[in-house]
Structure 1
Amino acid sequence: MNPEEHRAGLVTLVGRPNVGKSSLVNALVREKVCIVSDRPQTTRNRIRCIDSSERAQIVFVDTPGVYPARNRLGEFLLEEAKTSLESVDLILYVVEAGPFSPEPEEEALLELIGSLATPRILVANKADRLREEVPLETVLKVYLEALNPLALIAVSAKTGFNVETLRERIVSALPTGPSLFPEDILMDHTERFLAQELIREQVFRQTRDEVPHGVAVEIETFKTPFEYPDRQKALIQATIYVERPSQKGILIGAGGKRLKEIGRLARLSLEAQLGCPVFLELWVKVLPDWRKSPLQLRRFGYGR
């Protein structure tokens, strides 16, 4: 391919919580690089995921959803979402396909994006749930008017519907230029970070509404056979921090059953990602009000 025709750029995803931004990134990159849960605020960091092909390199930045900041963690997440809009080549504004209107906290963000010169695409995810007779252009009129996007594309990250169409539209909107990262890199976070996220994903999935968002995971030990050839299994030891003793009891469960299930499912995900057997050991500790502490937020990677 003529190098002058190669395209590369940064693409950021924004939108309200729980519209499927992380699932969409995973579908576009064709790998699991972002944790997925049906609960808002699952994504806490701007995760940089990279899709490289002969024609283009797309660098996706998956951001926290937009919601009111109620504590220091909330302030950090909102700031992350705003920061991700700076110095990017394309904005994907992700909404849920259907008759939804912007929530109050979205209005300021829509106004901000509408004032930027950065091109954007309005992506209506979860199109598999949409009835055929529902005209998206009509029900999403408010978003179309606020964003003036290059295109409105309905997709389903779950089924793969229109994902390739979206990828092609993204590539066509990027500037020409060389790749920004080596082509064999999938994400710019470490495997240690990925392990932390996969464990946290299972905490969300297994506890659902019983444990709120006061959960953080810290990896204590991370040793793989690739770094330590004498090992046959990866050794991963992690601590799950909660804010109240009652949450600790919920996470552990009767006879430790829930924590064992969290560990079992996280181990399966880790083995699939790392490509080797994993011995995973988990502990649960109480760290009162950690979300209100700048020191603890920085410790867990949510502050600057």
Structure 2
Amino acid sequence: MSTPSSQTPEFRSGFVCFVGRPNTGKSTLTNALVGDKIAITSNRPQTTRHAIRGIVNRPDAQLILIDTPGLHRPRTLLGQRLNDVVRDTYSEVDVICVCIPADEAIGPGDRRIVEQVQTIAPKTRKVGVVTKIDRVGPEKVASQLMALSALMGPDAEVVPCSAKSGRQLDTLSDVLVSLCDEGPAFYPDGELTDEPEQVLMAEFIREAALEGVRDELPHSLAVVIEEVVPRDGSEIVDVYAHLFVERDSQKGIIIGRKGARLKEVGTVARGQIERLLGTKVYLDLHVKVAKDWQRDPKQLGRLGF
């Protein structure tokens, strides 16, 4: 007969969401914990537009991480809908992680997010996460931890980590598991995301297109996969995608001089898509103008928002 000390710990599972201002490292942290790329990253704010689910499989637990768009003051209908996605997620998870970068002072936006979290989900367990600790020294990390702890309240745990260097990621994972209830795995072992392949393909193309562009363009860019067709008699998969922008001038930015920029976007995105599908890919990209689509309910619907 086994004694309590010799019993195998019960398996735990739960849903965890990362919230915070735009560009606080939520997507990079999600990818680092999952161990693979399932959310696109960029130094441009408001890169994430969907609640992307990543799955962390451990011998003792399964964490379903939900990377949400950054909460912000919306200026368009798209912005309002992205904020709605975040708030809807609050009510569906077991743990809410508020992400604050180590190298940026806590500001009004951070305080507003914590206030919203406490109001919308007062009983949900919460963790403060100081991200990007590789960018600052120990004293700055310590002061940021104290500031975030004061902001989150006495019931919230606070953890520093760096997705880039991997520091403290195991500690963060352990804390999240400890806050989840005992329960079964929700997904088969080895599965990393439940996102449809076409959604991930569109996101990889958008990420490639965002590199090095002007500040206003990221908000105006959307990608739709029109068709994915295995080529007859070949292992190649043909992928046809449209990149939508709001103005003709933006179309020129994406295409570049003599099509050079669009070709580069295709090369980078194709590599990501081939890795996702595990086969060679022919990627056909076309840029179209959908005037003011961020403010048009009908166009937002057609573009998947």
Gap change, CA 1:54 and 1:135, over 3 Å in 2: closer
Which residue does 2:35 correspond to in 1?
Answer: 30
Correspondent of 1:110 among 89, 114, 117: 114
Q: Secondary structure of the residue that 2:211 maps to in structure 1? A: helix
Deviation for aligned residue 1:135: 4.8
Q: Which moved more, 1:79-88 or 1:62-71?
A: 79-88
1:181 and 2:184 equivalent? no
* Aligned amino acid, residue 18 of structure 1: N
Partners in 2 of 1:222 and 1:199 — Cα distance? Answer: 14
Deviation at 1:154, TM superposition (A): 1.2
Q: CA deviation at 1:142?
A: 4.5
Tell me how far apart the structure 1 counterparts of residues 232 and 34 of structure 2 sit (CA, whole Å).
30
**Cross-structure match for 2:197:** 191
8 Å contact 2:44–2:218 — kept in the other structure? Answer: no
**Sequence identity percentage:** 38
Matched, 1:259 2:267: no
Comparing 51-60 and 72-81, the one that deviates more: 51-60
Which residue pairs with 2:96 in the alignment?
91
Q: Distance in 1 between matches of 2:7 and 2:250?
A: 57
Aligned to 2:293: 290
CA distance in 2, matches of 1:34, 1:196: 11
What TM-score does the superposition give when structure 1 sets the normalisation length? Answer: 0.92
C-alpha separation between the residues in 2 aligned to 1:42 and 1:170? Answer: 25
Query: What does residue range 141-180 of structure 1 map to in structure 2 within 5 Å?
Result: 141-148=146-153, 150-180=156-186
Distance 1:244 1:97 in 2: 37
Instruction: Note the C-alpha offset of 1:273.
Output: 2.0
State the shift of 1:251 in Å: 0.7
Please state how far the C-alpha of 1:159 moved relative to its aligned partner. 1.2
User: 152-161 or 190-199: which moved more?
Assistant: 152-161
* Residue type of the alignment partner of 1:187: T
Q: Is the 8 A contact 1:66 1:106 kept in 2?
A: no
Check whether the contact 2:102–2:140 (CA below 8 A) recurs between aligned residues: no
Q: Structure 1 residues 281, 229: CA separation in 2 closer, same or farther (over 3 Å shift)? A: closer
Aligned ranges for residues 128-139 of structure 1 at < 5 Å?
A: 128-136=134-142, 138-139=143-144
Q: What is the CA distance between 1:181 and its match in structure 2?
A: 2.3
SS of residue paired to 1:35:
coil
Q: Choose the corresponding residue for 1:270, options 246, 270, 273.
A: 273
Provide the C-alpha distance between the structure 2 equivalents of 1:117 and 1:231, rounded to a whole number of angstroms: 54
